[in-house]
Amino acid sequence: MCTTTFAARAFGIAPNNYVSNYPSYKGVFCTGDALAAKGVSIGLDVVGAIPGLGNAVSGTAAVARAVDGIATWGGAAAGLATMDGGDPIGQGSALGGAGLAWYNVALGGTKAIPIVGNVLSGATGLWDAYGAYKAYQSCMASSKYD
């Protein structure tokens, strides 16, 4: 027999009704897990969705128009770091930057670049935030941090 159960019975307490007085940090740990899973992605999305922050894009496009579009291709090579106004993490989406750059060159420089970037980043942000929420919920439902 377990010592705890024995002790509980000795004092006339039902062993199954034990309630911990320690604060539960499960929520904090689960938040950490959710952020670890989706934090970088959400950060990327937020930066890309803010026009003021991301729209050095406009500046990039203007430079591209002035210089002749080659600058934009350079930006594409560096990923969204250039396309999204200096977002260093955005380099993961160089392919997207290349697509926008192609569009910019193909149509002679447009204001579509920042708008498309903002909309896609914002929409992806919603999806990632939902994913983080789901991860948090499943963590809370599990016995991982019990």
List interacting residues with other proteins (CB under 8 A). 40-41, 44-45, 48-52, 55, 58-59, 62, 80, 89-90, 92-93, 95-96, 99-100, 103, 107-112, 114-124, 126-128, 130-131
Question: Is there a contact between 49 and 125 (Cβ–Cβ < 8 Å)?
Answer: yes
**Cβ partners under 8 Å of residue 72, min gap 6:** 60, 61, 63, 64, 83, 100, 101, 104, 105
Residue closer to other proteins (CB basis): 27 or 59 = 59
Residue closer to other proteins (CB basis): 8 or 116 = 116
Minimum CB separation of residue 144 from other proteins in Å reads 18
Residue closer to other proteins (CB basis): 43 or 74 = 43
The Cα–Cα gap between 14 and 104 comes to 73
